[in-house]
Structure 1
Amino acid sequence: MSAAETPATEISATETPATRRQILARTGALGASIAFTGALSELFAGTATAAARGRSGYGPLVPDPDGLLDLPKGFRYRVLSREGDDLRSGEGKVPSNHDGMAAFGGRRGGVHLVRNHENRPTAPLGVPTVEGLTYDPAAKGGCTALALDRRGRVVDERVAIAGTAVNCAGGPTPWGTWLTCEETEDKAGTNGYTKDHGFIFEVDPVDPRRSGAVPLTAMGRFQHEAIAVDPWRGVVYETEDAFQRPFGLFYRFLPDRPEGGRGSLRAGGRLQAMRVPGVPDLSAVQEPGASFDRVEWADVPDPLAARTPVRHQDFGPKGITHAQKLEGCYWGGRCVYFVSSYARGAEGSAADHHGQVWRYDPARRRLTLVIVFGPGTDVQLPGESPDNICLAPSGGLMVCEDGGGLQHVYGVTRGGEVYAMARNAQNTGTPDKPEWGEFAGVAFSPDHDTMYVNCYTPGTTFAVTGPWHR
């Protein structure tokens, strides 16, 4: 059997070191109860309930004889795409640095994947420039789109947008497009760029030419991380990933066309930043369940940040609320959830934590701290810096690991148990000093039978099938 579709074979479980930036809360050993404070059930708000499934994960990980991806027994993977291979469209090579991704339903049971490439000027392989789909020819980032048939086979792979920079995460829209986010605020003339960067772009997964390469300038120019769309009101929430002071802000965009639809965000709107009266820094709040009922939203003085980055701008005598490392953002039920991956007093935060999950209820204008991860002392144990998450068929979560050392996709059950779902076996270092690329972009097919996930480097996109509902 080829390396592109390899089943797992059973061996004894072995303990493996984890990294400093793991998503899940502190545990004493793999699979032990999570050490966090707060209500884990909040993470699953508005999702299907399947509390009895996947309580203990799927068993130990089995080393892959082909040295690509270790999975539990009964699961298998297919390599859909690898950095440096030829794009099926003939437009060039598959780019580097596979990052955020989403899966959309296609015709006759097919699937469309849209994949970010977090390419800086030093990236080995940039996204090929394509006429009509390129924003700035000097930038190497962008997205590629894969089309799969109902059997999971790749039938097309092409450039979806090019000439953008540091495309990290983003999020899907209710109307079936992908909003890709530039995690940079470099202006024209920096790093050889010919245009300003730091925008959100809309990408059509089925036909990228319908969306083109148009920056959604009204949504702001800053270090974007992720977005979530309120399907009831059309409001788009945005996180800003800033790890140095002044830290990032949590935003909402009020579109002029709240009914949505492809291209609707180009019509403009109003960008606002969240202000929690009396709370200049969210890290100062440490008690899960703490709520604030008078959340305010302040208009951003200069969304394009022509002279001053948005988080540096003057929001008046009341100021604005900051938070270190605002990353993941998703919609659940009738609320938006967002994540602060960590806060460190030594770097300027008001207090230390190893991750927070916040919930904002638009109807009540109420902000609530749902979960605080850690603190802990042993950085080799699973448990700090929550980031982007994906709902799993078991009713729990799948989370990509990002840090040093061995890299995993971890699951967390509705009962609060942590388990390893996948481990990157691609050693990019040496036998004496091994290195493994992070995981990114975990997503499930619309029928929940396949998990798609990226290895950041070497850029690899996997499709994982198996007894998900066991």
Structure 2
Amino acid sequence: MRLDRRHFLRLSALGGGALALGPGFWRDAYAAPAQPGPGPYGAMSGTADANGVRLPAGFASRIVARSGNKVASTGYTWHPAPDGGACFATGEGGWVYVSNSEMSSGGASALRFEGGGAVVGAYRILSSTRTNCAGGPTPWGTWLSCEEYSGGRVWECNPLSASQGTVRPALGTFAHEAVAVDPVDRRLYLTEDSTSGRFYRFTPSAWPSLGTGTLAVAKVTGDPLTGATVSWVTVSASQPASQQSNASQSTVFNGGEGCWYDSGCVYFTTKGDNRVWAYTPATSRLELIYDDNLYPSSPLTGVDNVTVSRSGDLYVAEDGGNLELCIITPDRVVASFLRLVGHSASEITGPAFSPDGKRLYFSSQRGTTGASGGGITFEVTGPFR
């Protein structure tokens, strides 16, 4: 069951009954998908700063790590091809930013910051894995690092200390991209980066242990512009859902990418059709909240990693396009927030806010060189609402 693009392009549907979602994000019921408009921070600067970043007035950037270089005075060499990331509080007023490495050697590293923002540590939290793309944080303070290849699995890591990580095979064997944890419904949601990908749900046997549980994939009924519902088809964790005997019973999502939970909703992106989705577990409702083909003038293309700010704004990173990090506001406006200049052969990865919401981290996976060894990890500060 493949979601046919033409169903989403019926302009007559745009004025119809779109779904009311979680209170933390879509506050307006019966609204159309996000369309271009002015962002809450105004236009980006006309020229890039010294770090090659165009930002709105009042914001500033700094580089906190470069692939192949020592991190600050730590002596630790930052990994190549930085990808998905998240922040964790240390309990000492500081925080840690975790970043995957999308290389054949895989793994993940962490940057430790003290309360004033200085980098005071860097270390490896996962080794001996492969093609670690995105992942997601858990409410109990661990990082779930996802392997992106057909035999890929999920590894649970302690972000606060150097560690090997623990494989979680019950979360499936497929080309994992990202994972989001719903602490209310006590389930995990996972995306698959494949043209025949599915949207997965994992229900632990004993929350919050991820050792055993039930894996299922979404079956969508109805049109996500006018009212779609999701039911779940149980699958084996041993191989991709597309290769299983009941594959025809589930819905194909073309190239699943970022996935993030916030205030009762699970947001995820699909790069094959440049869409952003919202699933509400409490109602089993699915809504298409952005499709770049609906508004040709939209700044957001090449949708990839996502995160949500404290104000409920959804930040979507671009893999392609003009290398922007775009924002979709709760009143359904999509606008550019920042742009990297001179990074045309790269992609923006790993957007994540510090625990206090005042600092935004992200990486240019291949930097200005276009090579995996040229990755750059940034921090942006400013008047985030």
* TM-score of Structure 1 vs Structure 2, range by shorter chain: 0.7 to 0.9
Match of 2:161 in 1: 207
User: Residue 46 of structure 1 aligns with which residue?
Assistant: 24
Q: Which amino acid aligns with 1:274?
A: A
- Is the contact made by 1:40 and 1:416 (CA closer than 8 Å) also made in structure 2? no
Distance in 1, Cα, partners of 2:21 & 2:48:
32
Q: Which runs of 5+ in 2 are unaligned?
A: 1-8, 28-37, 368-374
Moved beyond 6 Å, runs of 4+: 36-41
Offset, 1:90: 4.1
Secondary structure of the equivalent of 1:331? strand
**Aligned ranges 1:39-438 → 2 under 5 Å:** 45-46=23-24, 56-87=40-71, 90=75, 93-120=77-104, 140-185=105-150, 197-209=151-163, 212-243=164-195, 247-258=196-207, 260=208, 264-265=209-210, 267-276=211-220, 286=223, 288-292=225-229, 295-301=230-236, 303-305=237-239, 309-315=240-246, 319-343=249-273, 354-361=274-281, 363-364=282-283, 366-376=284-294, 378=296, 381-404=298-321, 406-425=322-341, 427=342, 435-438=344-347
Tell me the CA shift for residue 270 of structure 1.
Answer: 2.2
- Give 1:116's aligned amino acid: N
Tell me, in whole angstroms, the C-alpha distance in 2 between the residues paired with 1:324 and 1:97. 23
Mapped to 2, the partners of 1:381 and 1:400 lie a distance apart of 14
Contact 1:253–1:269 (CA<8 Å) still a contact in 2? yes
Instruction: Give, as a single letter, the amino acid of the residue that structure 2 aligns with 1:460.
Output: I
Residues of 2 paired with 1:101 and 1:310: CA distance? 26
Q: 1:372 to 1:80 in 2, by over 3 A?
A: closer
Task: Tell me how far 1:468 sits from its aligned partner.
Answer: 2.1
* 1:151/1:58 CA distance change after superposition, 3 Å: farther
Q: Which amino acid aligns with 1:451?
A: L
Within-5 A mapping of 1:3-42: none
**Distance (whole Å) between structure 2 residues aligned to residue 468 and residue 39 of structure 1:** 32
User: 2:144 touches 2:155 (CA, 8 Å); kept in 1?
Assistant: yes
**CA contact 2:323–2:347 (8 Å) conserved in 1:** yes
Q: Deviations over 1:89-126 (max 9, x none)?
A: 545x3111111110111233201111111113xxxxxx
> Is the CA contact 2:264–2:280 (under 8 Å) kept in the aligned structure 1?
no
Total equivalences in the alignment = 357
Q: Which amino acid aligns with 1:461?
A: T
Contact 2:24 2:312 in 1 (8 A): no
SS state of the match for residue 92, structure 2?
Answer: helix
CA distance in 2 between counterparts of 1:421 and 1:461 reads 17
Going from structure 1 to structure 2, the CA distance change for 1:290 and 1:164 (only over 3 Å counts) comes to same
Q: Evaluate the alpha carbon distance shift between residue 297 and residue 218 of structure 1 in structure 2; reply closer, same or farther with a 3 A threshold.
A: same
TM-score by length of 2: 0.82
Q: For residues 269 and 155 of structure 1, do their structure 2 counterparts lie closer, same or farther at Cα, with a shift above 3 Å needed?
A: same
Q: Distance in 1 between matches of 2:159 and 2:291?
A: 35
Distance 1:60 1:337, change over 3 A: closer
Cα shift readout 1:36-72 (whole Å, capped 9, x = no counterpart): 77889967643598xxxx9542333242352522222
Distance 1:44 1:397, change over 3 A: farther
1:154 positional shift: 0.5
In the TM superposition, residue 221 of structure 1 has moved relative to its aligned partner by 0.8
Structure 1 residues 415 and 300: alpha-carbon distance in aligned structure 2, compared to 1, 3 A threshold: closer
Q: Give how far 1:213 is off.
A: 3.0
Change (3 A) 1:233 1:421: closer
User: 1:226-248 CA deviation, whole Å, 9 max, x = no partner?
Assistant: 111121242111111112xxx11
Deviation at 1:456, TM superposition (A): 1.1
Which residue of structure 2 lines up, in the alignment, with residue 29 of structure 1? none
Larger Rg: 1
Deviations 1:250-298 (A, max 9, x none): 221121221x1xxx32x3222222234xx5xxxxx65513223xx4433
**Structure 1, unpaired ranges of 5+:** 1-25, 27-35, 121-139, 186-196, 280-284, 344-353, 429-434
Structure 1 Cα separation of the partners of residues 218 and 233 of structure 2: 6
Looking at both structures, which has the greater relative contact order when contacts are Cα pairs under 8 Å and sequence separation is at least 6?
A: 1
**Structure with greater proportional strand content:** 2
Offset of 1:436 from its aligned partner?
A: 4.5
- In 1, the alpha carbon distance for the partners of 2:302 and 2:294 equals 12
The separation in 2 between residues aligned to 1:223 and 1:173, in whole angstroms, is: 20
Taking only aligned residues, the RMSD between alpha carbons, in angstroms, comes to 3.1
- Residue in 1 aligned with 2:371? none
Counterpart CA distance in 1 for 2:16 and 2:53 is 33
How far, CA to CA, are the matches of 2:143 and 2:17 in structure 1? Answer: 30
